[in-house]
């Protein structure tokens, strides 16, 4: 079964930090990505902040690979669009009526770096944070339990939903449903797939509601948790420094 | 412990009742097995004992269910939780999806009950041990087989230590060895006198070996109620399509061919069958 969870455990690094600290860190880096202007500074933040943190958390190779895989479609399309269509006078290459301009490429590089920094901070958060621990930490800070449940369950149930769809598809095929061919045929083949999938999922939903009730999910009163969420005074200080940095970045940009 | 009297329930939109005038009382520490053909009302009775009928599945209900002095039909499931535990048929849909490992999935109910961490760990280990899941404790609940998920569903509910445990076909996906283990574990729980168990089961040989009491349902009515041997070997069960154990079948054949004297009571377990043929 495929998993949609990126988390990689490690005995050291960000994995051992409080999820809220990591969330605030990602938020601060996102603010940096949105507010910092020069290209060099954007790349410097990536190299000085994200790369060492990823290395400390023992996910550097995976982190860089994920970033590379995420960024190239943006970089390529921004490069083409900005390079050819943004106004500018420094022509690098002429292709008939189109001209590739240095100013456009420069703008594309800045945009791409912003996206890289933003996606990078989100990627590092996901690689080093268990989604359920993050949601638990948020619930302890007042997020509704139901909302947290929806997020965590979605992560786990999507793969099982996919395998259910595959099962129905196979069953319909074994009864002679043709699923290959032109667009029209493929569209028609969806009908006998969607009905059982949706109805089956609704029935499963009813049983899952009973299961949650039997496990005291809706019971009022205080709750405990099996996993302790790590936290410390220094981390709280780090959080406040990050929040202050975030505010400073935004103010600096706005004023 | 439980006192059901005159319970009749019709699902909203259904033309005939799923349970008709059910009277049943189960004593504390008893392991009571409900047997019956498909559609006899076993599942509805399980839901009624846990408050899901009529609070989740709506319909018209008359009669009463009293559990330790409390009226179950008037209590929503959220009020009964902790007191009453339910394991239902489909193991996959009993996995909440809220937690990523087997251990945490079992802990989920305890977290919601507010059980302190130290005690939670003790109860977890016990539940893992009873259900034979200790080696799978760190696996994802979604990566388990059907039988393992069924054990997980049972472990998750017994960790909550309900005084009344209701299980609806808890061994439907288990192999013969797993089924015996689960029954032995349930038997051990009732032996301590703290827990009362009501379960539905189609495997009559296991009911015969482990239950204190057998109640047969047919078309929503209680048609037989008593000791396993007395009920499971009776002719009435045959008439309602419930069947009988292989031991009883073998004994009937033996009687027909004159291998055993006609005055002996029919057996329902292996030991009784050996005794019968001696």
- ipTM confidence score: 0.88
A158, pLDDT greater than 50: yes
Q: What is the pLDDT of residue A1?
A: 41
Q: What is the pLDDT of residue A3?
A: 62
Taking CB atoms and an 8 Å cutoff, what residues of chain A touch B115?
A: 224
Q: What is the pLDDT of residue A182?
A: 84
Mean pLDDT of A39-51: 96
State the pTM of this model: 0.86
pLDDT digits (tens, 9 = 90+) for A104-145: 999 999 999 999 999 999 999 999 999 999 999 999 999 999
Which of B81, B124, B140 lies closest to A219 in CB terms?
B81
* Residue B249 touches partner A, C-beta closer than 8 Å: no
With tokens 């202050």, the residue in question is: A244
* Residue B77 touches partner A, C-beta closer than 8 Å: yes
Taking CB atoms and an 8 Å cutoff, what residues of chain B touch A212?
A: 96
Q: Say how far apart CA B154 and CA B142 lie, in whole Å.
A: 15
Taking CB atoms and an 8 Å cutoff, what residues of chain B touch A160?
A: 92, 142
Contact present, B206 and B171 (Cβ < 8 Å): yes
Give B69's contacts (C-beta < 8 A, 6+ positions apart).
none
Q: What is the pLDDT of residue A87?
A: 87
Q: Which of B181, B167, B151, B172 is nearest to B32 (CA)?
A: B167
A179, pLDDT greater than 80: no
DSSP SS3 for A224: coil
Segment holding A91, helix H or strand E: strand A91-95
Cα angle value A125/A127/A131 (rounded, 5°): 70
Averaged over successive runs of 10 residues, the pLDDT of chain B (278 residues) comes to 94 94 95 94 95 93 92 90 91 90 96 96 94 94 91 95 95 91 90 91 94 95 94 88 90 88 88 89
Other CB atoms within 10 Å distance of the CB of residue B101? 18
Q: What is the pLDDT of residue A249?
A: 94
Q: Say how far apart CA B240 and CA B36 lie, in whole Å.
A: 8
Other CB atoms within 10 Å distance of the CB of residue B264? 15
Tokens of B161: 């230590």
Based on its alpha-carbon atoms, the radius of gyration of chain A, rounded to whole angstroms, reads 24
Tokens of B67: 């559990």
DSSP SS3 for B226: strand
Q: Per mean pLDDT, which of A190-204, A214-228, B103-117 is the most reliable?
A: B103-117
Mean pLDDT of A44-55: 96
């Amino acid at each position: 079964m495929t998993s949609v969870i990126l988390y990689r455990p490690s005995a050291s690094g960000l994995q051992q930090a409080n999820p809220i600290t990591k969330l605030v860190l990602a938020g601060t880096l996102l603010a940096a990505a949105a507010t910092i202007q020069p290209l060099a500074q954007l790349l410097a933040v990536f190299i000085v902040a994200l790369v060492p943190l990823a290395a400390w958390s023992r996910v550097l190779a995976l982190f860089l690979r994920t970033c590379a895989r995420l960024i190239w479609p943006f970089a390529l399309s921004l490069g083409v669009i900005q390079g050819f269509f943004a106004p500018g006078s420094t022509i690098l290459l002429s292709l008939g009526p189109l001209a590739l301009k240095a100013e456009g490429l420069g703008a594309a590089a800045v945009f791409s770096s912003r996206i890289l920094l933003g996606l990078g901070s989100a990627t590092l958060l996901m690689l080093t944070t268990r989604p359920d621990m993050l949601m638990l930490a948020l619930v302890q800070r007042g997020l509704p339990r139901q909302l947290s449940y929806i997020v965590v369950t979605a992560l786990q149930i999507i793969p099982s939903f996919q395998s259910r769809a595959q099962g129905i598809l196979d069953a319909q095929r074994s009864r002679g449903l043709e699923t290959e061919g032109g667009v029209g045929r493929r569209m028609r083949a969806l009908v006998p797939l969607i009905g059982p999938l949706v109805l089956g999922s609704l029935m499963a939903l009813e049983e899952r509601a009973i299961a949650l009730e039997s496990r005291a999910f809706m019971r009022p009163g205080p709750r405990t948790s099996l996993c302790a969420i790590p936290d410390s005074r220094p981390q709280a200080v780090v959080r406040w420094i990050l929040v202050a940095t975030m505010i400073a970045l935004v103010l600096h940009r706005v004023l | 412990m439980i006192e059901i009297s005159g319970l009749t329930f019709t699902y909203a939109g259904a033309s005939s009742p799923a349970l008709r005038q059910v009277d049943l009382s189960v004593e504390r520490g008893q392991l009571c097995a409900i047997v019956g053909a498909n559609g006899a009302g076993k599942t509805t009775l399980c839901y009624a004992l846990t408050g899901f009928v009529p609070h989740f599945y709506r319909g018209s209900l008359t009669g009463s269910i009293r559990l330790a002095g409390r009226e179950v039909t008037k209590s929503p499931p959220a009020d009964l939780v902790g007191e009453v535990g339910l394991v239902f048929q489909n193991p996959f849909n009993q996995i909440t999806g809220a937690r990523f490992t087997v251990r945490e999935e079992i802990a989920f109910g305890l977290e919601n009950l507010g059980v302190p961490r130290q005690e939670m760990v003790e109860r977890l280990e016990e539940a893992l041990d009873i259900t034979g899941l200790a080696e799978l404790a760190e696996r994802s609940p979604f990566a388990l087989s059907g039988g393992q998920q069924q054990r997980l569903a049972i472990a998750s509910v017994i960790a909550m230590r309900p005084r009344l445990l209701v299980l609806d076909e808890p061994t439907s996906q288990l192999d013969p060895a797993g089924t015996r283990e689960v029954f032995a574990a349930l038997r051990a729980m009732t032996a301590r006198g703290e827990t009362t168990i009501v379960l539905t089961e189609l495997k009559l040989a296991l009911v015969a070996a482990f239950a204190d009491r057998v109640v047969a349902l047919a078309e929503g009515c209680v048609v037989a109620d008593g000791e396993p041997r007395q009920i499971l070997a009776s002719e009435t069960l045959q008439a309602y399509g419930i069947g009988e154990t292989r031991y009883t079948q073998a004994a009937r054949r033996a009687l027909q061919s004159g291998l055993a004297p006609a005055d002996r009571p029919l057996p329902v377990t292996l030991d009784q069958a050996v005794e019968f043929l001696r």
